[in-house]
Each structure stands twice: as C-alpha cells, then as structure tokens.
Structure 1
C-alpha cells in the first residue's frame, strides 16, 4: 500500500465504519433544559479585543467549539474512491438477520445482524454506552449467537408459558464477558417472537440524580415522573402492534381522583401518563399490573446495570440524607417484579450485572445475597440491609462464560474483518494472536486486540 493510501486509510477508516448502527443513540431520560444565551467572546487569538480573525484562526475556533465525536462521523461514500474500498463496499456487510426462528443450536457460533426497524426495542429504548460504541463503528449492528444465547432463549421459551415468578434471572460474569450483549439478544428475541418488551438499558440513570423527584405520601416513595413518562412513551412505540388488543381487567384509580373503568384499552391508559407528567409513575405501575394479569401475550422486563438498584443513590432527602435506591419509585417498581412480589402471568424478568461503573458497582452485600462466589463470605462487621435479601430471594443466576470459544471468536473476527476494520491483513496468525492475547474475553478481543491495529 502506498504512503498516501495508508495515510488516507488511517484518517478515514474508523469514520467510514459507521453505518446502519449510527442511528442508535444514547437515550437520556433527563429533561432537556432550554439553552441559556451566552455572550460570545470577541477576543482574538493574539489578545486584542474585537480583533478580526484570520481564516485559519476561524477554522481552529470552529474545531475547538465542535462538540460532536469526530472520530465517529461517517465519511461520505463518494469519497471512498481508493481501490482499497472497492473490493467490498462498507454498506454491503451481508449477515443473516437476527430473529427468533433461527436461534437454534445449529446456528450457535454464527454472526447475525439486528434488523432494527423504526419501532425496534433497541432503537427506541437505547443501549449501554459500550454497546453503542460497537454499533456506531460497525456498518451494521450485529452480534454473535453464543452457546449461552441458546440457553437464554430456551429459558425465555419456557417463560412464555409460565409465570414470571419462576423466571427471574440475573446475568453475571466477569467484566467484558458479554452480559449486555446477551441481554440485548434476549430483548431482540422476545420482540421478534411477539412479546411485550420493556427494556431499561442504563439503570444507573435511575439512581444518579439525573432526573427530578418528589416525595409521595401515598406510596411513601420518591416519584420520578420524567423517567416514568419517557418509559411509557417508548414502551408504547415499541409495542404499539399488540397494545391495541389489550384492556384493563379492573378499575384503575389514579391520583387527583381520576379513575378509568374496567375494559379501558391500554393505549388510553398510557395516554393519561403522557398528557399529565405528574401521574406518569402511577400510570406506569397500573400498566405493569394490567400486563401482569393478562394471559394473551408474554411480557419481558429487561434491566441492565441491575446492581445499581441495590445501592445508595445520589438523591438526597430534605435533611440531606442519602436515599436508598429502593425508596425511589422506578427502582422500587422494578424490584417488586424482580423479587416476585408482583408477577406477570406469562413472562420473565431478566437483569444484567455491570462492572464498568465503580460508583454503582456490585457490592459485597448483593454479591452475598445472590450467592455469587460463595467462598467469599462477607465481613462479620458488614451490615446487610434486609431489603437486599428480600428483593433478591428466588432470583436465579445465569452465568455468562468468561471467554468466547474458538468458533464464536472466529465469527466475531469475520464481522470486523468484513467491515474493513484492520490495517493488518486478516490472517489466521493475526486472529490467533489477538485471541490468545485477550484470553478470549469478548471486549478485550475486540478493543484491545482487533481494533488496536487502528492506533497510531
């Protein structure tokens, strides 16, 4: 490869790898504050006030003020004229689509692309940050069907005919082993199989004081109306096809004396919370209760960063005391279903433990309550809150393997190789070297192994 070609590749390759996955966004539930006009600084680079800037200085100023992630801005296809890009266009990464019918043992180890229609759960609810980065670089949002994927699918197939009381799972494993990807696969499977899906990709947002809250005397919890309203809106968008056929099976009492009669269509119930933000938490609770009673369609409640629901939140009481997560309305509602206190007649509750955020990480109390690493007993001086033991009772653990097997790693390697992600030729020696260096850990295999060839 010539020097000019190599230079053009190093500058544009990562940018060019962003395609169909770029529409996935980091979903935020916080209210967007209106921008406050800021007086522009007219001081020139050389210190003179009101001094006119040269073209070069204006360009540098524009670059400094640009807040967009430049490393992941797609390069227009018209600029990819070098022969390096002509062997296979980046927008032609062909993979079989991820759907419920194809998730069988015979397809274990194969890579599949998520179709992501407009009302897809992953597109609407969002994804965790580390997954978002993978999807933005890849020209298509894709994943590898692993052996543990088939195990999760089998559990969900069983749960589709059983109460969620018997199907409460938590995905656990070492950092970077693929828990978030596995949870997304479960969400995509359920959505493809016609389930009603509610997906919380970042439960840390429930406890990090990023949304307003207020104390409610009736429920004795701190309500989070904005997060509840956004969840209602996204749930309706994802499940619009099935909600129209479902109705409430009992009278629904809401705040301020409002009530809805028995037989009210669930979209009408959701509309109440969308129109009145203050009633959104009560509407969301009533919606889940109505979904729990019906037996026509199974329901999946999926939560990433599950461990954050058992921590001390960043919210404070009027006396500036720290509020426990289960005293907030959204975490409490999720924990009621995760603990089995409330159930779906058909469906499952699946959570994933994240180890990436140390502020809201896996505590010793939760580790002990879930039975993870039972040989590590907690300190006798450690006081375990009784709520942690109560909310985790009966939860089953699905262990995610720490490393990819050789077939899974080869499929993952093939996806990134077809996506033109390497400077180094995609040889068997290169694959085995990176697989060995990473110990088979999925995240390290991709980011510290395969994509390390892009570092200059």
Structure 2
C-alpha cells in the first residue's frame, strides 16, 4: 500500500508541499460571499479580450482565460477518431476531452475558469520543475463533474506554453477499448495498434520541432532500489507490470545512431497500419527516452521538462473491453474470453504512477467515477504519490460560471445571487449539471 499525501487536508507532507501551499488562494476564494447588491455585476468572463495561460497569476483566480486550442489537438472529437473507421454524420466516435467539448459547444469560446485548485496545481508543478528535484507523481481525485478533466487539460496547455514536452492521454478508456488489437507473437499479451498510433501522432503534432532536437540514446540499466524497496525484492514484479520503464535507473550511454532523433522514433511508429507491435514499442521507447532526456545526465546539457498527463487513469486497471476466442474451441460452444489490462502491453506500460524511476519527469493522472467498464474506482498504487482533491464548484464559482454563460450568449439573462445559490444547492457543484439544469431557474438558455 502506498503512502498518499493529500494537498487539501492540512498536513504538511514535505518541504515541497510547503513551498506552494502559501500561494494558494483557495481558503479565501472558497468562503467568498455572494451578496444581493452585486448580483448583477458581470464577472470577468465573456469579455472580448481574455488573458492567456502565460499571463495567469494569483490575481487571475476566479476569472475565465483563453486556451490555445492548437496546443490541445488531442482533446478534440475529430482528432480522437482520426485512426478509426469513419462513421455516418451524427454518429461520430466520442473521444478526446468531453468536458471541454461540452463547454465549447455551450459557450462557443475556448475559455475555462481559472479555479483555485488549478492555481495550486500549476504552482506545484512549476515549482517542482524549477527546483530540478526528483520526479513527481500526482493523482487528481474528486466527485463526478468537479472539473478534474478540465484541470488536467489546462495543465497540459499551460505546460506546452512553457516549452514542456507533454504526452497527453485525454482518456485512458481509448487504450482499453475500440480499434485494432493483435496478439504479440505466441505470448498471452496483446498490442493495440490504434491507440498507440493515436498517442504517437498527438506527440508528433504538438512537439515535432522539439523532438528533432533530441537524440535517441542507447540506454543502460543501473540497478538501484525503488523508493522503500530493494531491487531483488520487487524488480521482477514491477517490470512485469510496467514494461515501459525499467526497475533500475536509466542512464544514457551514448547516442543510439548518429543523427537519429526522437522525431524519427515517433515517425517510425506511424509507418504502416499493420504492425501493432512496432507502434506499441515506439510509444514505450518514447517514454523511456523522455525519462532519460528529463535528467541532465541524459545526454542533454539542460534537462528537458517532461509531463505525462493521463485522464481516466483507473481504466488502466481491471478488465478491458477486448476479448478473444481460442481456435481450439468448438465454434458451436466457443466462449469469448475477456482480456485483462495486465495483458495489454500499452495500457499496462502506461501505469506510470507505479513506475519506480521516472527521472525528473512529472506524472499527473486523474481518476474517473463514471466507468463504462468493470474496473476499480481507485487503483491500488504501490509507489508514494501526492493526491490533489478537485472540489466541486463553490457558490462563488457557480455565480461566475452563470455570468460567463450570460456574457457568451448561452444564457439569456444574468442570474441573481438567489438563483446562483439555488442552482449551487441543486447541482452540488457539478459543472456539467450546472449547464444542464440552469433552465430550471428560469434562465431560459438560448
């Protein structure tokens, strides 16, 4: 059982937590009063000019800011279905970040609220990178509709604005269902071609120029104990669950091939559509290379900030939606045998919160409570990690969102403080229900 540190429970888990705790405006914002006298004063949302993530500060908390959609192509619905067979209009495959898609469909704006929990998250990740300290594992938890996906997506956009290399998985559900999959040789493990190529394309489109500057390194394994473990004790077990990262520390010996870069590695995994093993191995090798590149001894003069962001993380544990039939079974009595995620090479390889050594990279994952597959709500994580609870909207945030809906034309009138209180009580801070149920207060959504 791993040790979990919770940001919102008052305990100073370590010095790293203390560095950003003082910068959070959560305490003051959560208790912000909503008075009737100011009930019709527009919020900062919906203005013609919104700040970008580069301009965010503690003073921006509560305001809406614009996202650069060019940095978030993986979040779009068309991008999510790029490697799947086309469907008829109106029946396109769902994928990407559904929370952002729904918000954009309602308001027509690439804008989200800069919440206190997001300020805490950005400050924590940024401080850890500037300190050049050891890797960081962070799990986002919270009730359904609280805004975990938006917080994670916003972190991805912020990090890419800062020059980070980010591997972003909008939903790990895509790694365990849908698309082409094939058995790896004569083993009991399986490769998922579609999801692997989708990941590679996302990284290539977002960071193609950066990848051309990073050489592919020949990596050696230096056996070192993981946190709280000995190599002999758990190395084999960890390796079997996390083939993407060695149980030992990765050190760069020399450049793999003169002139070969990470761009070549990624592009190689996208060549052809019939080699699932090559595509999956390219993703896992990219993870290893980014781990090495994040450290100063990884063949680079300066460490490269790297973020792995995985939404719906608990889909990587439990039973997948794939199944197979044994060729030796009688066709009349054949029974579909479900495949466990332990046997999916890519899905099990991206359980990065359980990877023992990650260089100076940062891993941020978010769990979902709306599972369409039988999977544990909270996976049993063995490695120490931090936990950040994403709370539902406060009354003040509900009012801000309603003002934003009015300013963008989604709501025909501005909610009063009384209506905001009623809707906050009705939705219990669920952002999705806030959009759906606003009409019950007579706001007459357009």
Tell me the CA shift for residue 286 of structure 1: 1.4
Tell me the CA shift for residue 438 of structure 1: 2.3
Residue of structure 2 equivalent to 1:235: 203
Residue of structure 1 equivalent to 2:8: none
Over residues 144-201 of structure 1, what are the superposed CA-to-partner deviations in whole Å (9 max), with x where a residue is unaligned?
A: 1111101111221134257896411111111111111111111111111111111111
Separation in 2 of the partners of 1:455 and 1:428? 18
Match of 1:434 among 423, 426, 439: 423
Q: Which runs of 4+ in 1 moved over 6 A?
A: 162-165
Separation in 1 of the partners of 2:429 and 2:422? 11
Residues 322, 339 of structure 2: 8 Å contact kept: yes
Match of 2:144 among 139, 164, 175: 175
Residue of structure 2 equivalent to 1:340: 355
More helix by share: 1
1:356 aligns with 2:370: yes
Residues 197, 279 of structure 2: 8 Å contact kept: yes
Residue of structure 1 equivalent to 2:102: 133
SS in 1 for 2:70: coil
Separation in 2 of the partners of 1:101 and 1:118? 16
Do the aligned partners of residues 200 and 183 (structure 1) sit closer, same or farther apart at CA in structure 2, a change above 3 Å counting? same
Across the aligned residues of Structure 1 and Structure 2, the Cα RMSD in angstroms comes to 2.9
For these two proteins, the number of residue pairs brought into alignment is 330
Do the aligned partners of residues 111 and 145 (structure 1) sit closer, same or farther apart at CA in structure 2, a change above 3 Å counting? same
Over residues 88-107 of structure 1, what are the superposed CA-to-partner deviations in whole Å (9 max), with x where a residue is unaligned?
A: xxxx85242331441x2221
Tell me the CA shift for residue 429 of structure 1: 3.6
Residue of structure 2 equivalent to 1:395: 385
Q: What TM-score, normalized to structure 2?
A: 0.67
1:211 aligns with 2:226: no
Residues 164, 348 of structure 1: 8 Å contact kept: no
Residues 395, 420 of structure 2: 8 Å contact kept: no
Residue of structure 2 equivalent to 1:444: 433
Q: What TM-score, normalized to structure 1?
A: 0.65
Do the aligned partners of residues 455 and 422 (structure 1) sit closer, same or farther apart at CA in structure 2, a change above 3 Å counting? closer
Residue of structure 2 equivalent to 1:110: 63
Residues 171, 397 of structure 1: 8 Å contact kept: yes
Separation in 2 of the partners of 1:140 and 1:93? 11
Question: For 1:233-272, what aligned pairs fall within 5 Å after superposition?
Answer: 233-250=201-218, 261=257, 264-272=260-268
Residues 356, 383 of structure 2: 8 Å contact kept: no
Q: Which runs of 5+ in 2 are unaligned?
A: 1-45, 81-94, 221-254, 295-302, 327-335
RCO comparison, higher one (Cα < 8 Å, 6+): 2
Residue of structure 1 equivalent to 2:25: none
